[in-house]
Chains A and B, each alone.
Chain A
């Protein structure tokens, strides 16, 4: 479908207020002022990353229209500067580590690395070449995806693209070290593909033992694997990592997890959604991903909490949310609906099982940090045996006052889809809410996603 390019801009009218909010501090000690952020968002970024400013409704990664939510602007800044920060960190000897979604990042940062999940690896890879519009960006992404599918299999989900980006050295990843079996059965096979005809890029796997509940030895096992992981990263970062270093990192990341929990509770408590779906969904992402920088991200989360509290108190609704919007809870694999089109159809996204799960467990701060981390990971609700996971999901559906449940999954994702019906049936039984399945076949696309959008819109109409 031909798309008219509408360009998004931050209006000058908000500049003075935005500048009042102050700048950001980064983990490496550097700082950026609010003026510099403004300058970047309004001049430099539109020139370098025009695709991000494409305001057509079908751009799945478009910036939020809620320009008065200033923490949202800072989040946009972090996202758009990720490429520069990663290259700079890599040049300074900070190892970039490819991981997968859903895992705790504490050991990676503690050991002096920057962990990146496949989605961010792809964002980085597509942004290597600047000045691309949305269509060109899509083409760049699909070219990488196809390389992966040709080498590995057409039956792999779109994570294969991130692996192809690494294998083809489009981005300099120093170590491939995800947790396994957390949410994806493809991951271990994808890591394995790097063993053949590739340079000697180190690889390390942290096993996530299935059938984990109520067994002390599963924590011993994972804790030992985490020790190995930290050693592996530290070999590259040359950082000395003591238990205390990890404990401090856990404290820092608990702060983010706590903030995310509090913001979500606040958002849920409001009569009118105080942030739109795009901004709301970014919160658990931030608290679990940090866009490469925990320090700056925690600051953004802190400011988010303040702004959300203010909006809740004053009954301010997020820009774009319809009055009496239908509330949709999202389940399934690591893919979500286009937030803008959901809102256009008169609904709002109120929760998402995978990201919410990672933030829902705080890691114990005293005692053996490796064991504490292992215990936390092993109790993530999304990774529990499916019946327990579905019970937790039903609770989330109730808490978020959802009107319907959308189970979405990527083409090629067999581990999550296999229990899609079961989760939906259990959730329906416990909450009485309708659900639907949407398979996303348009892997890796940021536009031309009408097929899945139509299905989502039809579901919203139904509820």
Chain B
């Protein structure tokens, strides 16, 4: 891991999490032996609560940063698809990682339509069993809400059939509680790492979040709670001088496990990432309120979240994604924003200009980095990030630091 942002006092639980991740594929294989189904999921709206309540093993599928997988994926889906999608098609086709060969079913929601297409392609070419969950574009309208409730009911029924388990209120309730606690812990970690003398960096938190894509959720919660407890006992790092590094907030297209190009560049150049609203970061743990242990309540809870950028929001003055972004910038005391947009990721790329304008007007320096998994643009990105961080530093100096 290349990083200039490391914490002096290491939390030991981090290593435990890493070890648990090492052990996880074997654990899942054993669970399969016991008759549990392994369900990989993609996109934004698949409620893990349902997978857990049906005794399935949920895995959040996705990988980034591997050019070779992108090339393999492009043979089946098109070169005009976003690199993440191409890379996941490659991953699912190759089945060379530890998790893909374990999958019994792929559950995909139709928020980003490219991912929906991905499901069609891997079903056809690689014979994956798939379950699709439709997502309303008119998500704020009552009929959109009703549609999603019905769609989630039908999706649940399909999974019940597939797993051979019946969804019960009690199981759903404990799954809801378990995931609520995980989300709460992760939100806390995000807030913690943004503090001046934190013993955990954003990068480490990001790593922890990604570990949660695979680990047994109950075990994961235990580890998170252990980590939280440990952090309270660690001494404050007095050697750290806050305010030296520009505080950078990441927004835009997802940075999936393995996609570290931009993160490395920012940190190597002395930027300190202090927060994100990435779908593979904080964003998926924000603002889910499930009012009751029912499928309908889950549908309402998921739909009321900050919308994925793939869902159109026509009134900018009330767009909760922008509102949330501004809120997070304040909360994490961001000094600059880097918008990471992946090639052919339309949901985020098309909005980049607008987001830039809005955040510039709100006083945040903003840099869009449009990139893919190839390494050919590293130097170009480095130059742009360097100039940008320089500008932020000058700005901070003028303002007298934070």
Contact = CB atoms under 8 A, between A and B. Distances in A.
Interface of A: 151-153, 155-156, 180-181, 185-186, 188-193, 195-197, 203, 205, 207, 209-212, 215, 217-218, 220-221, 224-225, 228, 385-387, 409, 411-415, 417-422, 426
Contact of A422 (B125, B135, B143): B125
B116 A419 contact: no
B383 interface: no
B346 A185 contact: yes
Contact of A189 (B147, B150, B312): B312
A226 to B, nearest CB: 10
B363 interface: no
B154 interface: yes
B351 interface: yes
B134 A225 contact: no
Given A195-B314, A195-B315, A422-B121, A207 B150 contact: no
A419 B136 contact: no
Given A210-B134, A211-B151, A221-B144, A189 B351 contact: yes
Contacts of A419: 77, 117, 120-121
A227 B209 CA distance: 43
Interface string B143-157: 110110011001000
Given A205-B312, A205-B314, A207-B138, A413 B143 contact: no
Contact of B354 (A196, A215, A228, A413): A196
B312 A192 contact: yes
B357 interface: yes
Interface of B: 75-82, 85, 110, 113-114, 116-118, 120-121, 124-125, 132-138, 141, 143-144, 146-147, 150-151, 154, 310-316, 319, 343-344, 346-347, 349-354, 357-358
Contacts of B313: 192, 195
Nearest to B349: A153
A211 B85 CA distance: 19
B136 A155 contact: no
Contacts of A212: 134
Given A192-B312, A215-B150, A225-B138, A155 B346 contact: yes
Contacts of B114: 185, 414-415, 418
A409 B79 CA distance: 12
Contact of B138 (A189, A205, A415): A205
A190 B346 CA distance: 10
Given A188-B137, A195-B316, 7 more contacts: A153-B350, A193-B354, A221-B147, A414-B82, A415-B117, A418-B121, A421-B77
Contacts of A195: 313-316, 319
Contacts of B312: 180, 188-189, 191-192, 205
Contacts, number: 149
B124 A207 contact: no
B110 A210 contact: yes
A445 to B, nearest CB: 19
A193 B313 CA distance: 10
Nearest to B155: A211
Contacts of B81: 414, 417-418
Given A195-B315, A207-B137, A414-B82, A155 B344 contact: yes
A355 to B, nearest CB: 22
Contact of B346 (A151, A203, A414, A417): A414
Contacts of B79: 417
A203 B350 contact: no
Nearest to B314: A203
Contact of A224 (B77, B143, B349): B143
Which of B75, B143, B150, B349: most chain A Cβ within 10 A?
B143
A203 B313 CA distance: 11
Which of A217, A220, A417, A418: most chain B Cβ within 10 A?
A418
B333 to A, nearest CB: 27
B350 A152 contact: yes
A193 B350 contact: yes
A192 B314 contact: yes
A41 B377 CA distance: 54
B350 A190 contact: yes
A156 B80 CA distance: 11
Nearest to A224: B143
A140 B299 CA distance: 48
Nearest to A188: B312
Given A156-B346, A196-B316, A210-B110, A417 B124 contact: no
A349 B133 CA distance: 38
Contacts of B75: 421
Contacts of A192: 312-314, 350-351
12 contacts: A185-B346, A192-B312, A193-B354, A210-B113, A211-B116, A212-B134, A217-B151, A221-B144, A225-B141, A414-B114, A414-B344, A426-B124
Given A210-B113, A211-B110, A417-B78, A217 B354 contact: no
A211 B133 contact: yes
Contacts of B151: 209, 211, 215, 217
B347 A189 contact: yes
Contact of A221 (B82, B136, B343, B353): B136
